[in-house]
Every structure is written in C-alpha cells, then in structure tokens.
C-alpha cells in the first residue's frame, strides 16, 4: 500500500484481528452478548472490504469491537469511508449540465424546474460556513449557513440552494437571515429534497462580494440522526462545517469524511469545550463532505 494513502477500514480491522488472535465467531459472540450483534459473515465482509459498517446499529458495535481488539477509541471508526448512497441515489445517470454529480439527472432537473442556473459559473463561492446544532433528542437539528460570494459579471441577482433531510425526516422551509429573500421553492416529497431560490437584497457589482445567511430546521420521525453532509454543486474556496451537540446528548466519537472522485478519506474529530466538532477544507470540488458519529 502507498504510504501516502489513508489506511482502509478493512486493512486496519484485518490487522487488528490478526494481532489479537481472536477468531470471528468469538468476536460475533462478544458483540451479541453486549447488545450490538454483528454476524460472523458480516465481520468477514468487513475484513475483506466487501462492505463496511454504515447503519446506526453497526456503527454502535464499533466501540465494542475496538475494546475487544485492544484499540483506542475511534481506532476503527476513523478509517471508515463515506457512507455509500442508498435507494434512488444509487442509480446515477450522467448528471445534467451544471447539476450535482451525486444526483440522478431526472431528479435534479425536476427539482430546479423553472429556476435559472445559467449564472452559476459567474458567481464564485469564496466561503461556505455551515453550523449544525443537533437537538437533545438526537432526532432533529437546526442548520445555519453563511456564504461569501463574488460576482464575476454584472446582473447576478441570486442563487439556488438545495437542502434535504436524513432518512425518516423532512426539511422545513428555508428561512432567510441576512441579505436575501426567498423566491421560488420546489419540494420533492419522494426524496425530501427542497430547492430554494435565494434572491439577493442588493445586486453586487462585478468583482464585488455579498454575504448571505439562511437557516432551516430538519425534523425527524425516524432513527437518531448520525451524520450530516454537504454536496456542493460548484467549487468552494473555503469550507467550514461545525456540528454542535447538546451537553446531555454527546456522541461517543465523531468522524469527518470526504468522498470526491472515488477517493474516500476519513479522520477522527474531537469535540471542543463547547461540545462542537469541526472540519475545514479548501478548494472543494463537487462531492460529499461531512461528519458522522455514533452515540454513547
């Protein structure tokens, strides 16, 4: 393996199992007795790289597995790839022009129907700062976003923002906070995605900048929220993601990840004194960027 490449989850797990000398059937029995069952066959798939833990129940088993193998907390979770898309997102036809690489062309075209994306390339995304605050009940969150944008040509009046909820949840209407108002809104009840036109309060001059802020709530009736991700359609110079947790509902560990052009990276992230994890990235290209966590 190239020393510059991040270690794969399968390689780390296989090495730890070999060094500890614990057979898979004993590991499976250990996890079952601690209320986090994982079958021997699944463990074998994890070792081979055929699959990896992604669902909340599987991720909860990682902490028990790390203890059994004598690893530090997060020693396995830090090497997980970004979650693989499921359901409709698995079918990835070639995206339409200026559409996101992660969305089927038909879905994206339907979402932005009637919206003008022709000026996308004339608006440089200098900065995107996203703050996510997860509620004490773990099932919903408030997302606040601030974008710093530079107009490369005259007459740019706004941009389109896409949002969506986790499985079992729904994204409530976006609320403008600063320097923008809401125009057209398209909602896809099947996917939970919402496309919103943000109209600038003032049209920036060429090479001029504008700061816009907006927020929305995600309410969930499904399982506990265990990840958040952004999927930018256009390049972003600087990206800051913060995920804050209620002091009475803290995660066991948090992992920051990226998934770009079939290259997956992940690393463990610590909480600061305000119970917040953060990640910073520069010169983002379209892809998936976010954090996932397991609960105590």
Q: pLDDT in tens for each of the 296 residues of the chain?
A: 444 445 688 888 988 898 888 888 889 888 887 777 888 888 888 888 878 887 656 777 777 888 888 888 778 877 776 555 444 333 333 333 344 544 555 567 777 888 888 888 899 999 999 999 999 999 888 999 999 999 999 999 999 998 875 554 555 678 999 999 999 998 876 666 788 999 999 999 999 999 999 998 877 656 788 899 888 888 999 999 999 999 999 999 999 998 887 788 888 999 999 999 999 999 988 888 999 999 98
State the Cα–Cα distance between residues 247 and 292, nearest whole angstrom. Answer: 18
CATH code of the domain containing 254: 2.60.40
How far apart CA 26 and CA 34 sit, in angstroms, is 13
Cα 160 to Cα 50: distance, rounded to the nearest angstrom:
38
Show Cβ contacts of residue 50 under 8 Å, excluding neighbours closer than 6 positions.
none
261 belongs to a structural domain: yes
In a domain, 131, yes or no: yes
Q: Is 138 helix (H, G, I), strand (E, B) or coil?
A: coil
Number of compact structural domains in the chain: 2
Distance, CA of 157 to CA of 205 (rounded, Å): 10
Give ∠ CA 127-133-138 in degrees, rounded to 5: 140
Give SS3 for 41: helix
Residues 54 and 201 in one domain: no
Contact by Cβ (8 Å): 229, 121? no
Q: Is 2 a domain residue?
A: no
Question: Is residue 65 domain-shared with residue 113, that is, in the same domain?
Answer: no
Provide the domain limits for residue 243.
87-295
| Whole-structure pTM value | 0.65
- Has residue 4 been placed in a domain? no
The residue from 79, 97, 131 where one domain ends is 79
41 and 155 part of one domain = no
Last residue of a domain, one of 63, 79, 95: 79
């Amino acid at each position: 393996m190239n020393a510059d490449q991040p270690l794969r989850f399968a390689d780390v797990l296989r090495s730890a199992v070999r060094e500890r000398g614990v057979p898979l059937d004993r590991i499976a029995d250990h996890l079952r007795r601690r209320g986090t069952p994982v079958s021997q066959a699944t463990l074998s798939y994890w070792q081979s790289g055929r699959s990896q833990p992604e669902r909340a129940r599987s991720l909860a088993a990682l902490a028990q597995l790390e203890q059994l193998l004598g690893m530090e907390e997060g020693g396995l979770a830090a090497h997980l790839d970004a979650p693989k898309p499921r359901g409709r997102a698995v079918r990835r036809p070639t995206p339409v022009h200026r559409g996101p690489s992660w969305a089927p062309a038909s879905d994206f075209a339907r979402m932005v129907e009637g919206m003008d994306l022709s000026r996308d390339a004339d608006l440089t995304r200098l900065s995107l700062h996203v703050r996510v605050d997860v509620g004490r009940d773990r099932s919903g969150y408030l997302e606040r976003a601030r974008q710093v944008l530079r107009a490369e040509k005259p007459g740019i009046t706004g941009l389109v923002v896409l949002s969506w909820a986790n499985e079992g949840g729904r994204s409530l209407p976006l609320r403008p906070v600063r320097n923008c108002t809401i125009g057209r809104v398209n909602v896809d009840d099947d996917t939970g995605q919402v496309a919103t036109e943000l109209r600038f309060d003032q049209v920036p001059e060429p090479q001029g900048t504008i700061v816009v802020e907006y927020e929305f709530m995600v309410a969930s009736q499904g399982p506990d929220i265990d990840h958040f991700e952004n999927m930018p359609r256009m390049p972003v110079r600087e990206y800051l993601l913060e995920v804050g947790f209620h002091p009475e509902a803290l995660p066991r560990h948090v992992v920051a990840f990226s998934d770009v052009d079939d290259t997956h990276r992940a690393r463990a992230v610590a909480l600061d004194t305000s119970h917040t994890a953060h990640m910073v990235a520069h010169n983002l290209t379209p892809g998936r960027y976010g954090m996932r966590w397991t609960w105590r």
